[in-house]
């Protein structure tokens, strides 16, 4: 258990009721769980409303963190000015704060929907203008609620000062430990809750937990209070027992800023480094987050034990922090053979564990148990957490490899550990002993050597004709020769040269039944579908999320640069769904080929009923939407098929010319069955040439016939999992699948897919 602040049977009395410090640990454990739950769900709801792109994700996370920092600072200042004057029980204020946080689960989703509706009415066509407007609305929506979350630590510290003055000296680290412990579970449990009850159902559970915290905290104080005079006396006595060490060394605050800056900046690097090994599914990102939080908890727990007996730490810790920051480039080295789990744990855990030790130590020393000072310190740490990812993601990673970004982020700690002219007041050695100084200097070349021997994923040998491009969204790799070329984004294979991608363009255009006026392709990839659409001699718009991807077009197709310069071509760097929402343009054909795998995080936003409703508004009356879906889990196939069937009046399904995956051809008007020869007759000569460029059939008629002959009824796909719901934004069954695939007995699994799910209850 804990040492000086351990949960003991000893307790204190307030208002005739015994209150143990264990209550505060329980409160902040559950509060930490709810905070991560809200962050995960709100981010996803914002993506559904405003787009799936790096800028939007950065806005949401920055506003979340900004709210935490503002709330921490503001509550601390209010307590400093008014706490002793009013003598109001802080535990009651904490109860009210948790109640309001619980209310946020009800208000945030409709606020986001309303804001998106207002942006649609404004009709912003500029991406920058849209980012600015959406950022302002997201800030107005999230910051007030997140400020309440940030306010809880200073308020709870004030409550501890009132109730347990003997434990206030390191109260921040006690609450921090509990909060991080709850956050570990908050990074895991919601993944299963979302699979079972959806995003909104998960939010409701978070709301119930926050309200339960409020009721419990209030119940501890709802008896006859012993009087304001006694409370003020107790508080002042408690204030006098604040840590015997004077606070005020601003070096502590600077270190807190750097700690937040480097930790969150490194998180952006870790995602790029480990995605090639872990994949793009939500569980892979959860693994990184859980490792981060669990190691932070471990480090904080060690500090709680160590800090009860020690007041000094060696400066070697700071340079070790820099060394640990560059362990991840070593474990992400493709030439080192480790399991994907070991790569993540060994690469992340040492750094975050040491940060988990040092961060609460710094706040404890700066605040000495004072809520106002703790609020300021925590706000400074959060400010670093906001700025670190912005520098890492938008400035450093677009211009250099992941390993050098990690080195730059580690550099402040390396230099700090080697520099002997600074101190943490009386808590650290002003001049380290000779052994410590020698060790610090020896570790500097070790750090540089680790970076030099590290290799990024794109630096593997045996990648013929490879090209690597970087931007704020991803690291993009084009590699291969001839028909063996492929495209990788953050190390994940996205597509390869295939006649399937040509059919995604030619099949819907030929089935249109009249000369097409224009077409749209969402997800550029290698540009094959876009190129095939252009062969019809019509205006074509291509929407791609990753800026580097279209720049590789000429690597795959010799005429790529010429096609992009064509007056018929329009390239848009944006989220495809967001583009459809804000463009007034109508299209004859919309071709969609979301990046694989089907289970990829965020992919459901291009398969859901809500997305199809948006796409339907951008089709002309006789327009056709072509949706490509690879083979996969029966529930995924059935869920997407049902969503299309419920969204469009007419749906036809074909196997691909290669024998795997499905072309869905859907419209609001009948799509008559026609012979392959008739479809070919409608095609321009250039389009026929494009169709037959790679075969595999001897002529265009045989090529179409190979697809038309594989048509199957939509009900056949739905029957693969008849209880699966239509895929919707709130229930992305393709992304959240672990329970149904691995952990849930078949009998239970059947209960999960009952009508209550399909009915959205």
We report the CATH number of the domain holding residue 179 as 1.20.1250.20
Report percent pLDDT > 70 for the chain: 86
The yes-or-no verdict on residue 245 having pLDDT over 70 is: no
Distance (Å, whole) CA 304 – CA 7: 12
Spatial contact of 630 and 80, defined as CB atoms under 8 Å apart: no
Phi-psi region of 248 (alpha: psi -120 to 50; beta: other; left: phi over 0): left
Whole-number pLDDT of residue 87: 63
Whole-number pLDDT of residue 199: 96
- Which range has the worst mean pLDDT, 61-70, 312-321, 498-507, 649-658? 312-321
Say which CATH number the domain at 271 has.
Answer: 1.20.1250
One domain for residues 303 and 235: no
- Which range has the worst mean pLDDT, 35-44, 426-435, 607-616, 711-720? 426-435
Give per-residue pLDDT as tens, 199-209.
Answer: 999 999 999 99
The yes-or-no verdict on residue 463 having pLDDT over 60 is: no
Radius of gyration of the chain (CA): 29
Spatial contact of 626 and 636, defined as CB atoms under 8 Å apart: no
Q: Give a yes or no: residue 4 inside a domain.
A: no
- Residue of 460, 472, 466, 507 lying closest to 486 (CA atoms): 466
One domain for residues 560 and 513: yes
User: What's the mean pLDDT in 93-122?
Assistant: 92
192, 213, 242 - which closes a domain? 242
One domain for residues 533 and 404: no
Q: Which two tokens stand for residue 674?
A: 């026609």
Q: Give a yes or no: residue 395 inside a domain.
A: yes
Whole-number pLDDT of residue 168: 76
Q: Within its chain, how far is the Cα of 156 from the centroid? A: 29
Whole-number pLDDT of residue 310: 67
Whole-number pLDDT of residue 445: 79
Residues 145, 150, 154, 159, Cα dihedral to 10°? 50
Q: Give a yes or no: residue 38 inside a domain.
A: yes
One domain for residues 315 and 283: yes
The yes-or-no verdict on residue 9 having pLDDT over 70 is: no
Which residues make Cβ contacts (< 8 Å) with residue 344, sequence separation at least 6?
A: 270, 274, 277, 278, 287, 288, 291, 331
Whole-number pLDDT of residue 166: 76
| Band of residue 85 on the pLDDT scale cut at 50, 70, 90 | low
Cβ atoms within 10 Å, residue 128 = 9
The yes-or-no verdict on residue 244 having pLDDT over 60 is: no
One domain for residues 199 and 258: no
Distance (Å, whole) CA 404 – CA 265: 13
User: What's the mean pLDDT in 509-534?
Assistant: 96
Whole-number pLDDT of residue 536: 97
User: What's the mean pLDDT in 29-37?
Assistant: 96
Whole-number pLDDT of residue 465: 61
Distance (Å, whole) CA 520 – CA 12: 69
Instruction: Please tell me the number of Cα atoms within 13 Å of 75 on its side-chain side.
Output: 32
Distance (Å, whole) CA 143 – CA 671: 49
One domain for residues 513 and 387: no
Q: How many domains does the chain have?
A: 3
One domain for residues 238 and 256: no
One domain for residues 303 and 209: no
| Band of residue 55 on the pLDDT scale cut at 50, 70, 90 | confident
One domain for residues 135 and 251: no
Q: Which two tokens stand for residue 98?
A: 């948790």
The yes-or-no verdict on residue 736 having pLDDT over 90 is: yes
User: What's the mean pLDDT in 577-605?
Assistant: 92
The yes-or-no verdict on residue 126 having pLDDT over 70 is: no
Q: Give a yes or no: residue 758 inside a domain.
A: no
- Domain limits for position 329: 247-426+437-461
User: What's the mean pLDDT in 72-86?
Assistant: 80
User: What's the mean pLDDT in 534-554?
Assistant: 96
Which residues make Cβ contacts (< 8 Å) with residue 126, sequence separation at least 6?
A: none
Spatial contact of 623 and 591, defined as CB atoms under 8 Å apart: no
Whole-number pLDDT of residue 761: 28
- Residue of 283, 285, 394 lying closest to 54 (CA atoms): 394
The yes-or-no verdict on residue 464 having pLDDT over 80 is: no
Whole-number pLDDT of residue 83: 65
Q: Give a yes or no: residue 332 inside a domain.
A: yes
Most confident of 4-13, 423-432, 492-501: 492-501
The yes-or-no verdict on residue 319 having pLDDT over 90 is: no
Q: Give a yes or no: residue 67 inside a domain.
A: yes
The yes-or-no verdict on residue 15 having pLDDT over 60 is: no
Whole-number pLDDT of residue 169: 77
Whole-number pLDDT of residue 606: 94
Q: Which two tokens stand for residue 110?
A: 């409709």
| Band of residue 335 on the pLDDT scale cut at 50, 70, 90 | confident
User: What's the mean pLDDT in 661-671?
Assistant: 96
242, 277, 304 - which closes a domain? 242
Whole-number pLDDT of residue 18: 56
Q: Give a yes or no: residue 169 inside a domain.
A: yes
| Band of residue 344 on the pLDDT scale cut at 50, 70, 90 | very high
- Which range has the worst mean pLDDT, 18-32, 152-166, 283-297, 447-461? 447-461
From the number of C-beta atoms within 10 Å of its C-beta (0-12, 13-18, 19+), residue 93 rates as buried
Report percent pLDDT > 90 for the chain: 64
Distance (Å, whole) CA 452 – CA 599: 36
One domain for residues 237 and 259: no
Which residues make Cβ contacts (< 8 Å) with residue 312, sequence separation at least 6?
A: 427, 428, 429
User: What's the mean pLDDT in 735-752?
Assistant: 62
Mean pLDDT for the chain? Answer: 86
The yes-or-no verdict on residue 229 having pLDDT over 50 is: no
189, 215, 242 - which closes a domain? 242
Cis bond leading into 597, ω under 30°? yes
One domain for residues 169 and 261: no
One domain for residues 571 and 692: yes
Whole-number pLDDT of residue 647: 97
The yes-or-no verdict on residue 247 having pLDDT over 90 is: no
- Which range has the worst mean pLDDT, 239-243, 306-310, 363-367, 640-644? 239-243
Q: Give a yes or no: residue 536 inside a domain.
A: yes
Which residues make Cβ contacts (< 8 Å) with residue 93, sequence separation at least 6?
A: 155, 158, 159
Say which CATH number the domain at 669 has.
Answer: 3.40.50.150
What are the φ/ψ torsions at residue 222 (nearest 5 degrees)?
Answer: -85, 75
């Amino acid at each position: 258990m804990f040492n000086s602040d351990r949960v003991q049977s000893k307790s204190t009395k307030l208002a005739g009721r015994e209150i143990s410090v264990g209550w505060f640990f329980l409160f902040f454990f559950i509060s930490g769980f709810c905070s991560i739950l809200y962050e995960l769900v709100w981010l996803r709801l914002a993506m559904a409303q405003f787009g799936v792109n790096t800028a939007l994700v950065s806005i949401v996370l920055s506003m979340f963190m900004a709210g935490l920092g503002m709330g921490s600072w503001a509550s601390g200042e209010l307590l400093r000015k008014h706490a002793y004057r009013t003598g109001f029980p802080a535990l009651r204020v904490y109860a009210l704060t948790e109640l309001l946080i619980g209310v946020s689960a009800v208000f945030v989703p409709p606020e986001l929907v309303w804001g998106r509706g207002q942006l649609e009415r404004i009709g912003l066509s500029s991406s920058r203008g849209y980012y600015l407007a959406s950022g302002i609305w997201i800030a107005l929506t999230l910051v007030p609620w997140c400020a309440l979350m940030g306010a809880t630590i200073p308020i709870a510290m004030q409550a501890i000062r009132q109730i347990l003055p003997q434990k206030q000296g390191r109260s921040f680290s006690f609450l921090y430990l509990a909060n991080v412990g709850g956050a570990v579970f908050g990074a895991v449990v919601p993944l299963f809750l979302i699979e079972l009850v959806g995003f909104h159902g998960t939010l409701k559970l978070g709301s119930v937990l926050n309200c339960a915290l409020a009721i419990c905290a209030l119940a501890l104080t709802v008896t006859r209070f012993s009087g304001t005079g006694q409370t003020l006396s107790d508080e002042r006595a408690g204030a006098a027992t604040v840590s015997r060490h004077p606070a005020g060394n601003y070096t502590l605050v600077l270190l807190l800023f750097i700690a937040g800056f480097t930790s969150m900046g490194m998180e952006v690097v870790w995602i790029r480094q480990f995605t090639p090994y872990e994949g793009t599914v939500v569980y892979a990102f959860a693994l990184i987050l859980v490792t981060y939080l669990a190691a932070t908890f471990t480090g904080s727990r060690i500090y709680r034990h160590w800090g009860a007996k020690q007041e000094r730490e060696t400066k070697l810790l700071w340079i070790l922090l820099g060394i640990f920051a560059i362990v991840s480039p070593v474990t992400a080295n493709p030439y080192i053979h480790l399991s994907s789990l070991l790569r993540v744990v060994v690469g992340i855990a040492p750094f975050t564990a040491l940060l988990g030790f040092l961060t609460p130590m710094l706040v404890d020393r700066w605040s000495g148990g004072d809520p106002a000072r703790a609020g300021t310190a925590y706000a400074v740490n959060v400010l670093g957490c906001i700025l670190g990812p912005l520098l890492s993601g938008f400035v450093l990673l677009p211009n250099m490899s992941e390993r050098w970004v990690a080195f730059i982020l580690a550099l402040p700690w390396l230099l700090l550990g080697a520099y002997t002219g600074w101190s943490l007041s009386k808590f650290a050695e002003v001049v380290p002993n000779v052994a410590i100084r020698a060790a610090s200097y020896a570790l500097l070349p070790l750090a540089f050597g680790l970076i030099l021997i590290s290799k990024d994923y794109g630096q593997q040998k045996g990648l013929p004709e490879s090209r690597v491009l970087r931007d704020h969204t991803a690291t993009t790799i084009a590699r291969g020769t001839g028909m063996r070329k492929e495209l990788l984004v953050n190390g994940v294979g996205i597509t390869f040269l295939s006649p399937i991608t040509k059919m995604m363009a030619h099949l819907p255009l030929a089935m249109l039944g009249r000369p097409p006026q224009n077409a749209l392709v969402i997800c550029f990839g290698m540009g094959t579908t876009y190129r095939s659409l252009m062969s019809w001699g019509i205006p074509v718009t291509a929407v791609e999320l990753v800026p580097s991807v279209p720049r590789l077009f000429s690597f795959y197709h010799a005429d790529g640069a010429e096609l992009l310069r064509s007056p018929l071509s329009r390239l848009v760097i944006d989220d495809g769904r967001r583009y459809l929402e804000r463009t007034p343009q109508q299209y004859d054909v919309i071709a969609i080929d979301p990046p694989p795998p089907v289970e990829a995080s965020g992919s459901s936003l291009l398969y859901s009923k809500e997305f199809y409703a948006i796409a339907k508004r951008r089709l002309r009356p006789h327009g056709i939407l072509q949706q490509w879906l690879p083979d996969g889990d029966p529930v995924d196939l059935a869920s997407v098929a049902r969503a299309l069937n419920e969204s469009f009046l007419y749906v036809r399904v074909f196997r691909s010319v290669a024998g795997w995956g499905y072309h869905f051809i859907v419209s609001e008007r009948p799509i008559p069955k026609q012979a392959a020869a008739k479809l070919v007759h409608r095609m321009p000569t250039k389009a026929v040439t494009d169709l037959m460029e790679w075969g595999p059939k001897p002529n265009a008629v045989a090529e179409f016939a190979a697809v038309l002959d594989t048509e199957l009824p939509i009900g056949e796909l739905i029957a693969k999992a008849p209880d699966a719901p239509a895929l919707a934004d709130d229930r992305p069954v393709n992304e959240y699948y672990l329970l149904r695939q691995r952990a849930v007995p078949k009998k239970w699994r059947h209960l999960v897919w009952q009508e209550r799910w399909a009915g959205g209850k």
